[in-house]
Structure 1
Amino acid sequence: METFDYVIIGAGSAGCVLANRLSASGATVCLLEAGPRDRNPFIHIPAGFIKTLVNPNLNWLYKTEPGLGTAGRSIATPRGKTLGGSSSINGHIYNRGQQLDFNTWGQLGNRGWSFEEVLPYFKKSERRIGYGDDKFRGRNGELLVTDVTEPDQVSDAFIKGVVNLGIPLSQDYNGAIQEGVNYFQRTIFSGRRISAAKAFLEPAHKRKNLKILTNRHVTEIIFDKRTAIGVKYLLGGVEQEIHARKEVLLSAGAIASPQLLQVSGVGNPDLLNKIGVSTICALPGVGENLSDHYGVRLAARVRGVQTINERTRGLRLAAELTNYLVFRKGVLAQSPGVVLALCKSNKVYDRPDLQVIFAPASYKEDAAYKLDNFPGITIGSWPMRPESRGYVHALSRNMKDKPLIQPNYLKAEADQQLLLSGIKLSRQMLQTPELAKWYQEETTPGKSLQGDDELLDYARKHGTTIFHLMGTCKMGPSYDQNAVVNDELKIHGLDGIRVVDTSIIPTAHSANTNAVTIMIAEKASDMILGNQPLPAVTL
């Protein structure tokens, strides 16, 4: 049995950052990942996103429980299972979120988490290539953040049309103002995905004090009374142990982190008793407060212009393959969506509440990411800060049994109304004069659906996760009955263990989750090592 200073569970966005920063201090670190090494070529080809989302070797392939908000459907919920975690299978978008979100974290009693205090940690990890005010953007970090390098005429026209609807052109949505429309900022460089593993593990993997173990499925956290001292994991069906001298760091994500706590005796005693686990620490908030973005896409047939649909068939696909292999350019070097709009459903609001993405491609309705056979475009929208909350509950004490995941999509009336606003705004965006010369007809859901009840019914039957699960190990003070960790990410009532991933996010976060997860891990690294926090930025 080996012993390390720190044992990290999960090599996702947070785990990769922790492994780099902690091992750089000279501490001995073991990083455990249930999945394989990130050698599959589809991980590194940006357009390979579509393949990794359905690959059981790289993806946990979770499913939600049926719910009223999804018309009784289970929703496929991809989570990365390889080095880099979900940063190895996501849509590449680098989007930090609204500044006011972080101020809300601080107002909830979490010291040190206001925007001015977390901004230095966003900057620390980032190597921004392109426009950006250095007051907000990092230039010397490991994570390469670039702009779309091959804009297309349909996307250009879409942006111009949206601006003429009164939505501002965004100069930098990760800068001073997080509102407006423009091309994505992405974690892609020279036609290759920049995952957390590529950015943070690759430079550190040869350190003698860092051990990276793949295909190790952690089954239990080992406690000595109320102190975490190590973990159990499976390798080839055989259970083994690794111990931690200082801390166990749980970075398994918003689904697996609460499940692992529950099977280890940390959580709601009623649930633990149901699955036959003795309670070590009664924390009813473990697995509760689940938040996710639920979106609806609209698609349209276009004419007189090439979209990705035609560029990925027949001889054109052969040309795209050659273009990628020789120059690292073309469709295969691009993210699945290319334009981002952060919008207010009401102009009097203090910040955007709707996120919209646009792609010069369209997909078969309810098919697994299969492109239409005709030229098409797609627009998707979702409420940025949904009010609906769900839960993740272990169904047995065996980590190999997937947990019950119930997000309660659209349970809150406010989410329903905001989603309707997003659908209506999306239709306006598709029917601007700038797109008129190509726009032919709406194919999904189709112009016959107009009434609110019809559109909401469509949203329930055809909407989907945007893959941004969070909140299941909520950060908050001890007087918050649903809080699981404090503002140093230590679990209330326990020693020797912290949670470092999206599960600690206390409120629905108004952005894609990769950037914020990396920031959380950067800040956690300083806390774990006892370093002084980076100086807050004065804005």
Structure 2
Amino acid sequence: MSGVSEDEVDYIVVGSGSAGSVVAGRLAMDGRFRVLLLEAGPRDRSPWIHLPIGYGMSFYNPRVNWMYRTEPVPGLDGRVIYQPRGKVIGGSSSINAMVYSRGQPSDFEAWAAMGNPGWGWDEVLAAYRRIESHALGGSRWHGGSGPLAVKDISREAHPLAHVFVDAGQQAGHAFNPDLNGGSIEGVGYYQINTKGGFRMSAARGWLWPAMRARALRVETGALVTRIDLEGRRAVGVTYEQGGATHAVRARREVVLCGGAINTPQLLMLSGIGPGEPLRALGIQVRHALPAVGAHLQDHLCHDHVYRSRLPSLNDDLLPLAGKIRVGLRYLMTRSGPLALSVNQAGGFVRSTPDAPQPDIQLYFSPLSYERAVPGVRALMKPDAFSGFSMSISPCNPTSRGAIVLASPDPYAAPEVRARYLDTEEDQRVALIGVHMLRRLAATPALAAIIAQEIKPGPECMEEADLLADIRARGYSVFHPCGSCRMGPDPASSVVDARLRVHGLAGLRIVDASIFPLVTSGNTNAPAMMVGERGADFLLEEAR
């Protein structure tokens, strides 16, 4: 490396993802501060990022994706599970499936009850309303003029998605016209983050406007290798970019927004974390915090795949004529299948009638790629027959994993020790979920169009066989969180209720790693909400 160059700003934001874009954008637009945003990946210029269904092309692209993999998971037959994470401006909000799901009030009431004042549903809902420009308009439940566009796809969803919603009602689940309204319970159509036929990432909502301000400097291809400490205060970071090493000082704060994998990794590389494992790697312990990397949570997903008697998205996206047709429609009208996610319908239901709140998420996709080549997310190359899938994802897993530093080399991936299905409770709820899929498939609406259950197949009926199928085919739905969780006790948490790292000044974490408990549903919206709350705290304390 060449000699170290030095610089000084007011705030350093590490990571431009779902929360980092919000934090950097809001700090810069305030106008009082110089803000430096450091992103390890490139600019978000790829057209596949902005084409909504183009996320299939980012799924295994190392240029914009960290492409993490877990250690072998005991509960999933020792399989290694893929963990895509955004490595680009916008982070995972630039490569995800765009489903906008805020969680339910009980999620955040539980956060507050764990000793985190200010994180109950009333405060969280206020933040959501500020960030939203919702297609349903401003109301008690939604914002109508925020920076983040939220689209209602109910009129554009595939015809098979309407069949699923009918089937859900036949199975006893109420229709919910707004899965982000006063209650998330019921079946309906997912809302997505798009605007004008293009992806609405956190970068587009917050960073793009802020980039016109001189207060914000964005450096891409910049890997932060260390948080620089003076005593018990974070004073800056060291990063590598283009073969050179740079040191930059923060007059006010360093804000970590790297997400559930990268944030604990950077803390541990900097000597902040569990003492003995760091010493074993030859890293000087600058500040012992045993919970760094612990309490990792994620949602497990499990699919049932069907051959359909009616056309599905397979018929649009596989043949050349279909590709041309949907491509021309998108170019002329910015609408059609290319302007949507494949996760079009679903909902939230209770595993049992006496469950205190919905605890299973349902997904319906009018597409199947059961025969896809390993290593390829074949959204544009699905199965050569009309097919679709239904999925379950338990909302409140009780299994806990960890992010563990594998090497003092900042370019080496940390170990992702996921523990899916570790507990009997998680196994119980997953089994209830697959029985729900079978009941949905047996409703008049779906039974009329299902030609064959391909996976797991009608021969898989016994509880032991169904659990074995979940272990053999279950996968992450890519919602890692909790690895630097928020709480009042430094022995079991990493940040306090204002997201300040316990025991250190000038260092804050604002991303999904702070979730005390994983929210019910997709985590991109809650991560942006955390970014909004984190920016509030920073600006309030700067007065």
Give the shorter-chain TM-score range: over 0.9
Matches within 5 A, 1:208-357: 208-303=214-309, 305-312=310-317, 313-357=319-363
Matches within 5 A, 1:61-80: 61-80=67-86
Aligned: 1:445 with 2:456: yes
- In structure 2, the partner of 1:369 is 377
- Residue identity opposite 1:409 in structure 2: Y
Q: Matches of 1:319 and 1:62 in 2, distance apart? A: 35
- Corresponding position: 1:507 with 2:517: yes
Per-residue deviation, residues 395-454 of structure 1 (Å, max 9, x unmatched): 111221000001111101111111111111012112210123321010011111111111
1:97 partnered with 2:127: no
Q: What TM-score do you get using the length of structure 2 for normalisation?
A: 0.96
Q: Per-residue displacement from partner, 1:250-306 (whole Å, max 9, x unpaired)?
A: 000000000000010100001110111111111100000000001111110011x22
- CA displacement at 1:35 relative to structure 2: 0.3
Give how far 1:473 is off: 0.3
The one of 399, 402, 423 aligned to 1:412: 423
| Seq. identity, % | 38
Computed over aligned residues only, the root mean square deviation of the Cα atoms, in angstroms, reads: 1.4
Question: Out of 467, 471, 481, which is 1:456 matched to?
Answer: 467
1:44 & 1:364 partners in 2: Cα distance? 26
| 1:276–1:396 contact (8 Å) kept in structure 2 | no
Shift of 1:133: 6.6
Q: Following TM superposition, by how much is the alpha carbon of 1:365 offset from its aligned partner in structure 2, in angstroms? A: 4.8
Amino acid at match of 2:538: I
Q: 1:11 aligns with which of 11, 16, 26?
A: 16
Partner in structure 2 of residue 24 of structure 1: 29
Matched, 1:45 2:51: yes
- Which of 460, 478, 482 is the aligned partner of 2:492? 482
In 2 relative to 1, CA 299–403 (structure 1 residues): closer, same or farther, beyond 3 Å? same
Is the CA contact (8 Å cut-off) linking 1:365 and 1:444 kept in structure 2? no
Shift in Å at residue 531 of structure 1?
6.0
- The residue identity in structure 2 corresponding to 1:360 is P
**CA 1:532/1:256 → structure 2, altered by over 3 Å: closer, same or farther?**
closer
1:151 positional shift: 2.3
Shift of 1:532: 11
Displacement of 1:529 in angstroms is 1.5
Q: Is 1:85 matched with 2:91? A: yes
- 8 Å CA contact 1:154, 1:435 repeated in 2: no
Q: Which deviates the most, 209-218 or 363-372?
A: 363-372
Structure 2 matches for 1:152-231, cutoff 5 A? 152-231=158-237
Query: 2:145 aligned with 1:134, yes or no?
Result: no
Matching residue's letter, 1:513: T
Question: Is the CA contact (8 Å cut-off) linking 2:185 and 2:347 kept in structure 1?
Answer: yes
| Larger CA deviation: 142-151 vs 464-473 | 142-151
Structure 1: give runs of 5+ residues left out of the alignment: 534-539
Q: Which runs of 5+ in 2 are unaligned?
A: 1-5
The answer on whether the counterparts of 1:526 and 1:532 sit within 8 Å (CA) in structure 2 is no
**Letter aligned with residue 521 of structure 2:** A
Following superposition, the deviation at residue 237 of structure 1 comes to 2.5
1:55-111 deviation line (CA, Å, top 9, x unaligned):
110100000000211111111100001010000011111100010110111111111
Q: Which amino acid aligns with 2:505?
A: D
- Matching residue of 1:526: 536
Q: Secondary structure at the match of 1:157?
A: helix
Look up the match of 1:536.
none
Question: How far apart, CA to CA, are the structure 2 residues paired with 1:280 and 1:94?
Answer: 39
Q: Is the 8 A contact 2:179 2:190 kept in 1?
A: no
Whether the 8 Å CA contact 1:133–1:175 is kept in 2: the answer is no
The letter for the 1-side match of 2:25 is N
The amino acid across from 1:431 in the alignment is A
2:527 corresponds to which of 517, 526, 531 = 517
Q: So what's the TM-score if we normalise by structure 1?
A: 0.96
Runs of at least 4 residues off by over 6 Å: none
